[in-house]
């Protein structure tokens, strides 16, 4: 059975320590997927625009790990801006919302935004494997 490729991943978080942790967890996976890091919503939008607006350049990061608390805007506002700029794109992304404390799922649903899953920090190796297995058919390491 052919093994599915790891997606390129975009990390969006204003905390450098969190970005380091998540980047390291992802880079150590077999096949070390490409990890892009943005510390605010504007940088993240710029990355997505550069990578995803015109197919055939570099790999578009189809897995986005998004911190909800992202001053000056929050993760929801980032997603709204993304959906506005690329109305057809967000549906093909896996967006995982990361929060310091568990989030009320109803609160997320009310936003009507393309959020695929929610995770409470910290991101762990298990959680990463789980995400890749569930949404990208990448077999888990056992």
Partner 1 sequence: MPPKARPPIATTEIRFRSLFDDTPELILYQNEKATILDANRAFLALVAEPKDRVVDRPYDDFLPPEVQPLFQEKLQEAFAGKTVRFDMYAAQGNSAPRHWDVVKVPLLENGVVIGVHMIARDITDKMQAQQEIVTQNQDLQQFTYIVSHNLRAPLASALGLADLLGTEEPGSPYFEETRTHLQASLHQLDRVLRDMNTILSIRDQKSVAEAEAVPLADVVQQVVQNLQEVVDQCGGTVRVAIPADLSLRANRAYLYSIFFNLLSNALQYRADERPLVVTVTATGGAGQPTRLTVADNGSGFDQEQAGDDVFKLYKRFHPHRPGRGLGLYLIKTHVESLGGHIAVYSRVDEGARFTIVVP
How many chain residues bind partner 1 (CB under 8 A)? 21
Which tokens is 105 given? Answer: 């799922």
Q: Of 30-38, 54-62, 122-130, 134-142, which segment contacts partner 1 by CB under 8 A? A: 122-130
Class of residue 106 by CB neighbours under 10 A (exposed 0-12, middle 13-18, buried 19+): exposed
Shortest distance, position 20 Cβ to partner 1, whole Å? 5
Which tokens is 6 given? Answer: 């790891």
Q: Binding of partner 1 at residue 139 (CB under 8 A)?
A: no
Residue of 16, 50, 58, 141 that binds partner 1 (CB under 8 A)? 16
Q: Binding of partner 1 at residue 97 (CB under 8 A)?
A: no
Residue of 1, 31, 101, 106 that binds partner 1 (CB under 8 A)? 101
User: Side-chain half-sphere of 65: how many Cα atoms within 13 Å?
Assistant: 30
Q: Binding of partner 1 at residue 3 (CB under 8 A)?
A: no
Q: Binding of partner 1 at residue 121 (CB under 8 A)?
A: yes
Q: Binding of partner 1 at residue 21 (CB under 8 A)?
A: yes
Q: Binding of partner 1 at residue 72 (CB under 8 A)?
A: yes
């Amino acid at each position: 059975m052919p093994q599915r490729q790891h997606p390129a991943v975009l990390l969006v978080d204003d905390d450098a320590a969190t970005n380091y942790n998540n980047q390291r967890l992802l880079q150590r996976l077999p096949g070390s997927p490409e990890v892009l890091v943005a510390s605010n919503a504007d940088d993240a939008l710029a990355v997505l625009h550069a990578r995803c607006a015109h197919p055939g350049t570099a790999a578009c990061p189809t897995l986005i790990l998004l911190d909800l608390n992202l001053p000056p805007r929050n993760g929801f506002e980032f997603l709204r801006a993304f959906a506005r700029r690329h109305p057809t794109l967000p549906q093909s992304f896996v967006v995982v919302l990361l929060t310091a404390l568990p989030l009320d799922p109803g609160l997320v649903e009310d936003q009507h935004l393309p959020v695929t899953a929610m995770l409470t920090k910290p991101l762990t190796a298990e959680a990463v494997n789980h995400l890749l297995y569930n949404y990208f058919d990448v077999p888990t390491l056992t």
